[in-house]
């Protein structure tokens, strides 16, 4: 399953085999998008489909394999179902025939572990509705909403949509402004965007486009130039930019060219604050100075792309970090949300990219095993700033905001 390509709210459908998970998705989306069969175990890999929900916008429905699958193949299917938990913003637990036991309890524990809001759907209610006793048990033990549903009659579809809208975290579909709290009406933001071998032909990369749009959404003025033109613009600028945002790869050039009284940060650090684990990045980044010979560094990319001869994650960051630390380090790169090749505890440090094609939930859950294990985590832009000696300046705009909030409170 390609899981790192849809920065939209993800709704996971979980439950035992043959409980009607695929039929539910078909009923919600109004079309045949998942295979439906009377035979248990029809769904193998998680299946994804987009649909629109008024008030939320486009969402991704994920149909997972039965949590009670059996055999060696069944174990693999269950593993993929468990992996899907890391990508979802909301879960629907499907039960039937008043069956509720360890499978369901384990799933609910998983939902709670990943802080996933959920509700329970008692499917096939045309055959049997949920009993008062089970309804009471679920409420007393889990405080979960239970909805009766029949994919045959499609009753209560609106009630399901209403519950989804009620439980879906607003942060999953309404992104906070990238720099709206750093600028005011009419402020100029200078964006330094190198055009090199990694820049797509005729286009800007996604983080650059996102920041330009955010400047415009906040009634600011976006000025875009390459790193070679920065000095010329700085000499002519009037008024001075309220903020300068640079590509992390030219941090040193930007730091030398931009006067110290003008706030400077990077596209990657901006994204780290919006959809990354920013507080843990702040705690983890200084550990780059404590690496030892033989330490293994995990680099997490969010997207699959052509690897150039000077790729930022696979080439430049390892080179810069090795030069900075003077240590013999090992590096492993994992793309998207793929399974790690080894136990997280075998890594000394995790470096996550900006995550421009992921949801915040996906980035947070991607880093969760490392955070839980006490492994320091950081972000591309913050790591690059740190090894180049300009980390304090690069994060200062955001720390100042937090200090202002504290002072206000």
What's this model's pTM, rounded to 2 decimal places? 0.71
Last residue of a domain, one of 173, 208, 240: 173
pLDDT digits (tens, 9 = 90+) for 118-127: 999 999 999 9
Residue 317 and residue 168 share a domain: no
Give the number of other CB atoms < 10 A from CB of residue 135: 16
pLDDT number for residue 173: 74
Cα separations in angstroms, 158 against 123, 131, 147, 154, 163: 15, 22, 11, 9, 9
Q: How far apart are CA 42 and CA 104, in angstroms?
A: 19
Band (pLDDT 50/70/90 cuts) for residue 402 is low
Domain termination site, one of 173, 195, 222: 173
State residue 357's pLDDT score. Answer: 78
At 81, which CATH number?
A: 3.40.50.300
Total number of domains constituting the chain: 2
Nearest alpha carbon to residue 143 among 108, 97, 91: 108
The DSSP result for 26-75, as a single string, is HHHHTS--S---SSTT---S-EEEEEEETTTEEEEEEE---TT--HHHHH
Q: Are residues 147 and 27 in the same domain?
A: yes
Query: Pick from 203, 167, 227: which is nearest to 9 by CA?
Result: 167
Asked whether residue 94 is domain-assigned, the answer is yes
* Residue 262 in domain: no
Q: Which of 11, 63, 12 is nearest to 41 (CA)?
A: 63
Can you give the pLDDT at residue 409? 37
The kind and range of the H/E element at 377 are strand 377-379
State the Cα–Cα distance between residues 327 and 13, nearest whole angstrom. Answer: 46
Pair 168, 294 in one domain = no
Region 348-366 average pLDDT = 88
In terms of residue numbers, what domain contains 115? Answer: 10-173
């Amino acid at each position: 399953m390609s899981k790192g390509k849809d920065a939209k709210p993800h709704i996971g459908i979980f439950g035992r085999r043959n409980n009607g998970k695929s039929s539910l998705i078909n009923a919600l989306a109004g079309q045949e998008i998942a295979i439906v069969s009377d035979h248990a175990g029809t769904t193998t890999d998680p299946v994804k489909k987009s649909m629109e929900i008024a008030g939320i916008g486009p969402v991704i429905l994920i149909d997972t394999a039965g949590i009670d699958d059996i055999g060696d193949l069944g174990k693999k299917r269950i593993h993929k179902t468990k992996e899907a938990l890391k990508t979802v913003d909301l879960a629907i637990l499907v039960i039937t025939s008043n069956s509720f036991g360890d499978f369901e309890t384990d799933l609910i524990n998983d939902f709670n572990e990943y802080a996933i809001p959920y509700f329970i759907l008692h499917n096939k209610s045309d055959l049997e509705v949920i009993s008062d006793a089970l309804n009471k048990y679920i409420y007393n033990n889990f405080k979960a909403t239970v909805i009766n549903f029949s994919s045959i009659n499609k009753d209560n579809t609106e009630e399901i949509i209403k519950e989804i809208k009620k439980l879906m975290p607003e942060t999953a579909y309404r992104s906070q402004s990238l720099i709206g709290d750093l600028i005011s009406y009419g402020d100029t933001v200078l964006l330094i965007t190198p055009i090199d071998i990694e820049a797509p032909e005729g286009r800007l990369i996604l983080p650059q486009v996102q920041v330009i749009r955010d400047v415009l959404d906040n009634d600011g003025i976006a000025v875009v130039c390459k790193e070679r033109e920065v000095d010329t613009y700085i000499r002519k600028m009037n008024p001075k930019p309220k903020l300068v945002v640079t590509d992390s790869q030219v941090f040193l050039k930007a730091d030398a060219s931009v006067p110290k009284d003008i706030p400077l940060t990077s596209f990657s650090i901006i994204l780290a604050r919006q959809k990354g684990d920013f507080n843990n990045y702040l705690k983890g980044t200084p550990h780059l100075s404590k690496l030892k010979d033989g330490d293994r560094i995990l680099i997490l990319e969010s997207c699959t792309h052509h690897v150039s001869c000077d790729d930022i994650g696979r080439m430049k960051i390892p080179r810069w970090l090795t030069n900075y630390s003077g240590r013999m380090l090992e590096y492993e790169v994992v793309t998207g949300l793929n399974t790690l090749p080894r136990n997280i505890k075998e890594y000394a440090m995790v470096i996550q990219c900006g995550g421009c094609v992921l949801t915040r939930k996906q980035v947070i859950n991607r880093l969760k095993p490392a955070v839980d294990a006490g492994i320091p985590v950081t972000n591309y832009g913050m790591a690059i700033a740190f090894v180049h000696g300009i980390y304090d300046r690069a994060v200062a705009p955001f720390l100042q905001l937090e200090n202002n909030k504290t002072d206000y409170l």
